[in-house]
């Protein structure tokens, strides 16, 4: 029976490492798309550059790709978190399936802001960050990139429309 527990613990470590590495890859992709999108937008604003409509189309396509990758990353992070949670439940339960009463949480677990559990875990220091978190329903690092990609796409469409009207 000890080999099953060892397997489960090793599986938990592997899945936790994979989730951590996934977050790193997400940040790298976010930085890539943000840098390329910002550079293209600045180039499209240059008055001497006559291809603003072309750059707007290119930027809209880039934003659509960015949104797709960001939404996929968000989904995958949720799946990986769920796998870790399920494995954590198995590890923390005994052979009869009763959950252990130890107050341990799986890797990546974060209580919802404003819940009684979050108040017990995090000292409320107030301030603008706490207000923004509550106001925007606790958007996390995985939820923000698709939103930013969507807004970049809207900005590109507006930029292309403006360039077409000015010709």
Q: Is 131 helix (H, G, I), strand (E, B) or coil?
A: helix
Which segments of the chain have a pLDDT < 50?
A: 101-102, 120-122, 134
Residues whose CB falls within 8 Å of the CB of residue 16, separated by 6 or more in sequence, listed in order: 84, 107, 108
The residue count for the chain: 167
**Entry pTM:** 0.70
Q: Is 115 helix (H, G, I), strand (E, B) or coil?
A: coil
Contact 78, 141 (CB under 8 A): no
**Predicted pLDDT of residue 102:** 47
Strand partners, 93: 99
Q: Which of 2, 4, 143 is nearest to 77 (CA)?
A: 143
Q: Cβ–Cβ contacts within 10 Å for residue 65, how many?
A: 13
- CA distance linking residue 15 with residue 6, whole number of Å: 14
pLDDT digit string, tens, across residues 63-99: 999 999 998 888 888 888 888 888 877 777 765 556 5
């Amino acid at each position: 029976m000890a080999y099953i527990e060892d397997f489960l613990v090793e599986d938990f470590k592997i899945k936790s490492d994979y989730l951590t590495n996934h977050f790193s890859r997400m940040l790298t992709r976010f930085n890539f798309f943000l840098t390329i999108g910002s550079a293209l937008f600045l180039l499209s604003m240059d008055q001497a550059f006559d291809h603003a409509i072309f750059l707007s189309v290119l930027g809209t396509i880039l934003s659509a790709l960015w949104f797709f990758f960001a939404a996929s990353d968000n989904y995958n992070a949720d799946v990986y978190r769920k796998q870790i949670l399920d494995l954590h439940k198995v590890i923390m339960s005994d052979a009869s399936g009763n959950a252990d009463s130890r107050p341990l949480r799986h890797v990546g677990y974060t209580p919802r802001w404003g819940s009684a559990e979050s108040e017990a875990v995090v000292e409320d220091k107030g301030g603008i960050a706490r207000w923004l978190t509550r106001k925007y329903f606790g958007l996390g690092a995985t939820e923000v990139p698709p939103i930013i990609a969507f807004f970049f796409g809207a900005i590109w469409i507006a930029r292309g429309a403006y360039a077409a009207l000015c010709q």
